[in-house]
Chains A and B, each alone.
Chain A
Amino acid sequence: MNGIQEIPLAFGPDRSLLGVLSTPARGESTPIACLMLNAGATHRVGPGRIHVKLARQLAERGVSSLRMDLSGFGDSGVAQGAEHARVQAVRDLQAAMDQVESMLGIRRFVVIGLRSGAANALALAVADSRVVALSMFDGFAFPSRRSLWERRARQVLAAVGNPGLVGKTARWLSPKAGTPSAQSAQSAHSDDCVSSDADRALFRRSMLQLSEREIAVMLTYSGSAHVVDHDRDQLGALAHEPFMRNIDYRFLPDVGGNLTSIASQQSFMAAVTDWVLRVASQRAPAASEPLPRRLVPVERVMLRTA
Chain B
Amino acid sequence: MTPLLFGPPSRQLFGMLHPARGGDQAGRAVLMCPPFGQEAIRSHRLFSVLADQLARSGISVLRLDYHGTGDSPGDDADGEFDGWRRDVCTAHEELRRRTGAARIVWFGARLGASLAVLAARSGRCDPARLVLWDPIVSGRDYLQSLRKRHVEAMERSFCIPDPAWRKQLATNPHAFTDELLGFAVSPTLLLQLRNLDADALALTALHDTIVLADDDDAKVRHWRDLQTARAMALKHSSFRHSLQWTSEPQPDATLVPADALQRLTTCLT
Instruction: Name the A residues within 8 Å of B159 (CB-CB).
Output: 151, 155, 168, 191, 193, 223-227
Q: Chain B nearest CB: distance from A177 CB in Å?
A: 14
Interface residue B101 (Cβ < 8 Å from any Cβ of A) = no
- Interface size for B (C-beta < 8 A) is 42
From A8, A52, A256, A302, B158 is in contact (CB under 8 Å) with A256
Instruction: Name the A residues within 8 Å of B38 (CB-CB).
Output: 48
Instruction: Name the A residues within 8 Å of B163 (CB-CB).
Output: 161-164
Interface residue B194 (Cβ < 8 Å from any Cβ of A) = no
From A52, A155, A226, A261, B71 is in contact (CB under 8 Å) with A52
In B110-162, the 8 Å CB interface with A consists of 150, 153-162
Closest to A254 in B: B158
Give CA–CA (A49, B183) in the complex, Å.
8
Known contacts A42-B248, A47-B182: A261-B161 contact under CB 8 Å:
no
Tell me the interface secondary structure of chain B in the complex. Answer: mixed
Closest to A22 in B: B71
Q: Is the CB of B44 within 8 A of A43?
A: yes
Instruction: Name the B residues within 8 Å of A262 (CB-CB).
Output: 179, 182, 184
Instruction: Name the A residues within 8 Å of B69 (CB-CB).
Output: 49
Interface residue B165 (Cβ < 8 Å from any Cβ of A) = yes
Q: Is the CB of B160 within 8 A of A47?
A: no
Interface residue B264 (Cβ < 8 Å from any Cβ of A) = no
- Interface size for A (C-beta < 8 A) is 53
Q: Is the CB of A256 within 8 A of B16?
A: no
Instruction: Name the A residues within 8 Å of B165 (CB-CB).
Output: 164
Q: Chain B nearest CB: distance from A9 CB in Å?
A: 7
Give CA–CA (A260, B45) in the complex, Å.
20
Q: Is the CB of A164 within 8 A of B155?
A: yes
Instruction: Name the A residues within 8 Å of B251 (CB-CB).
Output: 40-41, 73, 116
Give CA–CA (A73, B249) in the complex, Å.
10
Interface residue A259 (Cβ < 8 Å from any Cβ of B) = yes
Instruction: Name the A residues within 8 Å of B160 (CB-CB).
Output: 154-155, 158, 162, 165, 227
Interface residue A201 (Cβ < 8 Å from any Cβ of B) = no
Instruction: Name the A residues within 8 Å of B71 (CB-CB).
Output: 6, 8, 20, 44-45, 52
From B2, B5, B162, B182, A260 is in contact (CB under 8 Å) with B182
